[in-house]
Amino acid sequence: MKPIEGEAPLFENLDIFRMSHAMATHAGARQALVAQNMANADTPGYAARDLSPFQQLYRHDGSPLLPHATRASHLFGQGNPVAFEPHLDTGAQSDPNGNSISIETEMLRAVDVKRQHDRAIAIYRSSLTVLRTALGRG
């Protein structure tokens, strides 16, 4: 069954797929911040950065996050993606040189990010299995 020209495939219109995509995207953005924090662990004056939890961002305005389109035909996505804004980790203690990175904390964040990404992929796979079963192709 081919989608009608100009319309998105069925799975693109389901919020569960949009949510799992947004969750995986958030995990990727957070992993990049964790890597940046660890790379600057010895940089004087560098403050630890993190993202708000996904749950807060997803419920921010009541609408689901939308996939990011890098070109007009890419993923049938929206042109205005939600930006993940990093914030300073105010709870981190600074060293005498002003650096507030703790390698142990960043390692724990990296584990949390991996779990979040794995959860997003599991939600996507499970939803796809349900959809395939409903269509009689499972």
pLDDT score recorded for residue 83:
65
9 confidence band (pLDDT: 50, 70, 90):
low
The answer as to whether 4 is a domain residue is no
Residue 37: pLDDT band with limits 50, 70, 90: very high
Alpha carbons 52 and 30: distance in angstroms, whole number: 9
Domain coverage including residue 56: 10-134
Residue 5 belongs to a domain:
no
Task: With cut-offs at 50, 70 and 90, classify the pLDDT of residue 97.
Answer: confident
The pLDDT of residue 45 is: 92
Average pLDDT score over residue span 81-93: 76
The chain-wide mean pLDDT, for the chain, equals 79
Which residue carries 């192709």 as its tokens? 137
> Does residue 56 form part of some domain?
yes
Asked if residue 3 belongs to a domain, the reply is: no
Provide the domain count of the chain.
1
- Percent of the chain exceeding pLDDT 90 equals 42
Task: Quote the pLDDT of residue 131.
Answer: 86
